[in-house]
Amino acid sequence: MNSTKKTKKRGKRQRFSIKQSWRYVAAVVLIAVVLFGSYVINNIPNPKKLSTDEYPESSKILDRDGKLLYEFYSEQKRTSVPLDKIPDNLKKATLAIEDANFYRHIGFDLRGMLRGFYRSVFQKRLQGGSTITQQLVKNALLTPERTLERKFKEAILTVATEILYSKDEILEMYFNQTPYGGTLWGADAAASGIFNKKVSDLSLAQAALLAGLPGSPSRYSPFAHPDAAKARQEMVLKRMLELEFINQEDYDRAKNEELKYYLERGKIEAPHFVFYVKEILIEKYGLQKVNEGGLKVTTSLDLEMQKLAEVTVATEVGKLERYNVTNGAVVITEPKTGEILAMVGSKDYFSEDIDGKYNVTTALRQPGSSIKPLNYAVGLELGNITAATVLADEPTCFRNGLQKPYCPTNYGNSYHGIQTVRNSLANSLNIAAVKVLKLNGVETFVASASAMGISTFTDPSRYGLSLTLGGGEVKMIDMAVAFGALANGGVKQELVPILKIEDRKGEVLEQTKYSTGDRVLSRETAFLIQQILSDDGARSMVFGRGSLLNIKGQPEVAVKTGTTNDLRDNWTIGYTPDVVITVWVGNNDNSRMSGVVSGISGAAPIWNKLMTEILKDKPVKKPVRPADIVGVNVCNLTGGLAEDSGCESHYEYFKKEFLPKKTNVVRQNVLIDKDAGRIVSDAENKPNTEWQEHDVVIDATGVWYCLDCNWGEEIEKKSAIIN
């Protein structure tokens, strides 16, 4: 009896224990659900982010006419467009295949989910059951893993999105934030990357293909799986027909339309220029803003001119390969504004043989004689020389303190005796150029060249007299600026590669406002340099008449060549008031070219073809002669006023303040080496010499020249070396 009671009590206690345990489990589960829900809610993204600018959008680099050069992006290439720019055929195609009841549900479509399940399982036609709102939430706010937590977040965010935004706003965000394959995010990027079209220009057939991609971008990729992509497109069209979004005729026409895919999705126009611009943008806005900020950058580049330059460089450099010339580069600018119209950094950006991605236009190179006009401009500006000043083109050494004398030579080791500054610059005679730098002073020249745009000339102590022969490294873009100042009447304009920058909303962040620039030379000096560099007669002694330095029908084009003594760099730079063309040829590895590459056989053919094409059918622009420029006849051999002297003369321009004197000829005793038949200095130890009286002229450096000697050689007062 007692035993039975004890058993019953024990059983009752056991049943109570089980009941209590279930309550405990239920309490634990409830607490877990609450905590989980609280955690999820606390960690859920803010649905308002859908309408912010926080999602990445590619930045577009355009030429001056709005033609796309390239898009910068990190992982998502995207361009936002408003809903009214999305064509109806893409809207209907997307609704048909993704969410036909979009405008009738509140975020979830039970019928659509069941239909998607049925077609996927029983008809083997892959179709998701998620609404457009759900897909937007998944793509824009959530990570891709399939977990209970994510599903819970998706449900909450879907409802919140439907409450916060209108249907049109949701659809617009869907078209801008949905992946269409690879780096193509958004309908406009997909239209551009797949069909090379704006989204607004898509045909029904193209729109149906795009609408089918979000279901499985990799499986339906038209590039990787064209058959699957076509089948998916036809499925979209059939669904549109079922919903009466299109009629049978539309369906048949779109189904039979040939789809041509844009296979050059990674193509870049003007690559060296594009990445030159990118560096500027990164410096201003940072890398993330450039890659993901949706900037629209309108540049100064003229794409047609760029293509002309690219083809010309590639063609002409190809002709020079037998002379060990493997590369070429071009910069074309507008001197009045500084705008860069074309930039070719190498003959082929994609060439691995020459490291084609290396941009020579921004690299350090020796300019050879192409730097000489800047030196002569300084001399003309200061009055150290005039265009008629005579200088001896003879082997000459220059002493520089205790250092070894500097003894430059002419190209080809040819010398031409007494020459005017006009002839010396036009024919690129080295000895005269060094004498002019000696007059100007290296420090003065460095300061003046820097003011004209040469950013690499900094410390004068680093340079000697060889600077005027190309002894200091420069950048092509700097030479374009400096020659632009010459072309622009002495006014320097900094290079302008960017005309306007807009953000993703179309608001202008910055826009070029043109200024008058900095005056670095007088109008008179710029005029004199132009007159010399365009004088075909003056340069004929070395280059011959009618060379490639002449542009047919355009006699006012100024031009200067340059070749380094070691034959590693060859230049031609020429200009009009409207355009400056800077050309270089050589090798990226700085190896030597062969000796046959000269001032007119290397870079000049490229320059000539480009300048000829650019000036074709354009009127000749004659430079305006400044009021303070006067013209008079001067003697050829002395540079003095001709008047009634009876000397052989030519017409020359001068700054009014630096008009030459009537004559600078003196009667002087000179020492003649009777055995050698030449003038010598009294410092020379010659056994058979004789003092004779002759007419001599003293040049700007203090050197004497004999005018009535048969051999016409120079003597110097004291020494064969100029101090």
H helical segments located in 534-626: 540-543, 604-615
pLDDT of residue 54: 59
Q: Which residue, chain included where needed, has tokens 């006014």?
A: 491
The pLDDT of residue 565 is above 90: no
Terminal Cα-to-Cα distance of the chain (whole angstroms): 140
pLDDT digits (tens, 9 = 90+) for 450-492: 999 999 998 999 999 999 999 999 999 999 999 999 999 999 9
pLDDT of residue 82: 92
Q: What is the arithmetic mean of pLDDT over 714-723?
A: 41
Concatenating the DSSP letter of every residue in 176-240 gives: HH-EEETTEESHHHHHHHHHSS-GGG--HHHHHHHHHSTT-TTTT-TTT-HHHHHHHHHHHHHHH
Asked if residue 641 lies in contact with residue 651, where contact means CB atoms within 8 angstroms, the answer is no
pLDDT of residue 40: 45
pLDDT digits (tens, 9 = 90+) for 305-322: 999 999 999 999 999 988
CATH hierarchy code of domain 339-615: 3.40.710.10
pLDDT digits (tens, 9 = 90+) for 225-281: 778 899 999 999 999 999 999 999 999 999 999 988 875 545 789 999 998 998 899
Q: What is the arithmetic mean of pLDDT over 607-615?
A: 97
The pLDDT of residue 721 is above 50: no
Which secondary structure element, helix H or strand E, spans residue 630, and what is its range?
strand 629-635
pLDDT of residue 691: 83
271 vs 69: CA distance, rounded Å: 8
- In the structure, what pLDDT confidence band is assigned to residue 723 with cuts at 50, 70 and 90? very low
- In the structure, what pLDDT confidence band is assigned to residue 90 with cuts at 50, 70 and 90? very high
Compute how many other C-beta atoms are within 10 angstroms of the C-beta atom of residue 561: 30
Q: What is the arithmetic mean of pLDDT over 284-295?
A: 82
Q: What is the arithmetic mean of pLDDT over 438-460?
A: 96
The pLDDT of residue 630 is above 80: yes
- In the structure, what pLDDT confidence band is assigned to residue 340 with cuts at 50, 70 and 90? very high
pLDDT of residue 9: 45
What's the half-sphere exposure (Cβ side, CA atoms, 13 Å) at 89? 19
pLDDT of residue 716: 41
The phi and psi torsions of 472 (rounded to 5 degrees) equal -120, 140
Amino acid (1-letter code) at residue 587: N
The pLDDT of residue 174 is above 60: yes
Q: Which two tokens stand for residue 487?
A: 């072309």
The pLDDT of residue 161 is above 50: yes
- In the structure, what pLDDT confidence band is assigned to residue 576 with cuts at 50, 70 and 90? very high
Give the sign of the dihedral formed by CA 140, CA 142, CA 146, CA 152: negative
pLDDT of residue 293: 84
pLDDT of residue 224: 66
pLDDT digits (tens, 9 = 90+) for 386-418: 999 999 888 888 887 767 889 998 877 888 888
pLDDT of residue 715: 42
Range in 96-110, 282-296, 643-657, 700-714 the model is least confident about: 700-714
Residues ≥6 apart with Cβ < 8 Å to 616: none
Q: Residue 393's beta-bridge partner residues?
A: 417
The structure's pTM equals 0.74
DSSP symbol at 22 = H
The pLDDT of residue 47 is above 80: no
Q: Which of 8, 601, 621, 17 is nearest to 317 (CA)?
A: 601
Q: Which of 220, 170, 231, 175 is nearest to 194 (CA)?
A: 220
- What is the CATH class of 76-256? mainly alpha
Asked if residue 598 lies in contact with residue 563, where contact means CB atoms within 8 angstroms, the answer is yes
pLDDT of residue 628: 96
The pLDDT of residue 332 is above 50: yes
- In the structure, what pLDDT confidence band is assigned to residue 684 with cuts at 50, 70 and 90? low
The pLDDT of residue 30 is above 90: no
